[in-house]
Structure 1
Amino acid sequence: MADGSFLDRMVSQLRSTCRYYTGYPKDLGPSRIIPFTSERQFVQLLHEGRPVVVAFTIKCTYTRHLDKVLEEAAATFYPHIKFVRVECPKYPGFCLTRQKNEYPFIEVFYNPEQAASQGKGVDPNVTKYSVKVQPFNYDQSVYGFREYFKKHGFKYFETK
């Protein structure tokens, strides 16, 4: 005889085959979100040459939802795009430089390029980089991140 009812088998088949089924918890493995510890560590991430998505958060109910979305997006786009979470009460100096009043918010730092010209009088041990920062104003989901990355031409490869 069959194991379980027809409905149980159908739902089990749906969970195993449907890529965008959202009602079942996904096994994402270890967290791919990099916790913010210092500006030096953040600059090292930028020097790797990959886009860095930074979530500036405070403790609230919306942040819990955002954390789940970031976990899934970080697992999906790992290692081509890095995700960092900054807890603004712990690092107020870094968050205040962004000059935002509404929390949580997301910004994308990308395209570190070595400055082509270094003028005279500049220390040769200092490397200059230009970083473009864009606010993330798309749907806060993995699909929203995917569409944002497509629009802005980021190179990423989806895991299958």
Structure 2
Amino acid sequence: MSTKILICIDFSPLTPRIVKTGKELAKALNLGVHLVHAQPEKPSAPTAVVHQGADPSLGREMMKEIKELNNLKSDFEEEDIPCSYATPRGKTSDVIAAEAAKVEAPYIVLGSHGNGAMYHLVVGSVAEGVMKKLDTPVILVPAQQRLDREAGR
């Protein structure tokens, strides 16, 4: 397995900045990237359909995400950056830690959505969960609105 930078994708408005940061790091270090989009811990759309409880939009959403991941993969490869991706199911911090170990990631790039102290007290942060599981450096990309707020805009 080749060493790759792990880039965590959640398709939020912060995703382009996360991708840009990961791409810059990959170019600087001459490494490939592995994109990870963690899927929630719930039955897959086909399983739910079989059990008559499905929201048909679940399958469409997953197909849209796969298409977007393929587009991102192509963008990286057009710039000669080897790229792979995975969409594992499970708790986000567990999924990220497992994928980072699998690709021997020297760095993990993920977004910080700027949730407040109460959220972190109750839920915790993905970055914190990942850092508890691994010794791998985590590069946090701040949300733009937080940067604007700190700059007084």
Provide the TM-score with structure 2 as the length reference.
Answer: 0.30
Question: Which is richer in helix?
Answer: 2
Larger RCO, structure (CA 8 Å, separation 6 or more): 2
Question: Which is richer in strand?
Answer: 1
Provide the TM-score with structure 1 as the length reference.
Answer: 0.29
